[in-house]
């Protein structure tokens, strides 16, 4: 099976008040295409830092991260931003969306920004509608983001993460701000997406969420255990 993500001796150190905080120390693991990997660990253990570092959202102190054959530490900032836009999808606990755009326009925004998405404007719109139908939110397409429920908004975030047909979706506590019913619905959708072939790496503190993944990485004292 092809490895979509290879992490070798990854280190992340923050300096606070002249003191070093080694959040990640010599972390090595890989993720295969089609996997759904959960990252767990105590609060403050570096779960989100790991996710942001391997996805290029945060810089690494040392080590190597190879995403789909590209060493992200060697990419120029513009090339890395383009890689994230075109080949990665992101879902966050806080559902960041632009308040001046409708739900559908928020979902479409990454596709409109991409220089490498081969779809025409009509094809992007059709694919957006297809995703919204699939996740059961087409009826809120023209709504403002403050007119929908948390569960609906997180499903819209899933649609947005899929709009450029990414290689991997990175999700940071995607169910953390939801009640149990909405959390289950969101996980149902993520499992369906994974079942269709999209690789997912997600941070969670919820054992029920982790149990639905194919593998769990556990962070403890700056190290990762598979």
Under a CB-based contact definition with an 8 Å cutoff, are residues 54 and 30 in contact? no
How confident is the model over 146-199, as pLDDT tens digits?
999 988 999 999 999 999 999 999 999 988 878 888 888 889 999 999 999 999
37 band by pLDDT with thresholds 50, 70 and 90: very high
Give dist(CA 149, CA 100) in Å, integer.
17
pLDDT > 70: percent of the chain: 99
Q: Does domain 3-225 have CATH number 3.40.50.300?
A: yes
- pTM for the complete prediction? 0.93
- How open is the CA angle 117-118-124, to the nearest 5 degrees? 75
pLDDT at 16: 79
Average pLDDT over residues 68-74: 94
pLDDT of residue 45: 86
Whether the predicted pLDDT of 226 surpasses 80: no
- Mean of per-residue pLDDT scores for the chain: 92
**pLDDT at res. 157:** 94
Work out the number of other CB atoms within 10 angstroms of the CB of residue 104: 20
pLDDT over 90 at 204, yes or no: yes
Other Cβ atoms closer than 10 A to 76: 8
Domain positions in the chain: 3-225
Q: Is it the case that residue 129 has pLDDT exceeding 90?
A: yes
| The pLDDT of residue 132 is above 90 | yes
Per-residue model confidence (pLDDT) at position 181: 87
**Cα–Cα distances in Å, from 2 out to 33, 166, 195?**
6, 16, 16
């Amino acid at each position: 099976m092809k490895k979509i993500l290879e992490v070798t001796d990854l280190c992340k150190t923050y300096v606070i008040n002249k003191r070093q905080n080694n959040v990640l120390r010599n972390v090595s693991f890989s993720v295969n295409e089609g996997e759904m990997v959960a990252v767990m660990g105590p609060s403050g253990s570096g779960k989100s830092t790991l996710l942001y570092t391997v996805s290029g959202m945060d810089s690494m102190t040392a080590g190597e991260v190879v995403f789909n054959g590209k060493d992200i530490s060697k990419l120029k900032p513009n090339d890395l931003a383009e890689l994230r836009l075109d080949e990665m999808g992101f879902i966050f606990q806080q559902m960041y969306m632009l308040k001046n755009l409708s739900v559908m326009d928020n979902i479409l925004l990454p596709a409109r920004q991409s220089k490498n998405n081969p779809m025409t404007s009509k094809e992007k719109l059709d694919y957006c509608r297809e995703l919204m139908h699939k996740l059961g939110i087409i009826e809120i397409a023209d709504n403002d983001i403050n007119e929908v429920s948390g569960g609906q908004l997180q499903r819209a975030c899933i649609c947005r993460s899929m709009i450029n047909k990414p290689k991997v979706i990175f999700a940071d506590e995607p169910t953390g701000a939801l009640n149990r019913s909405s959390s289950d619905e969101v996980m149902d959708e993520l499992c369906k997406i994974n079942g269709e072939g999209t690789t997912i790496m997600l941070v969670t503190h919820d054992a029920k969420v982790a149990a639905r993944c194919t593998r769990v990485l556990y962070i403890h004292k700056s190290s990762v255990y598979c």
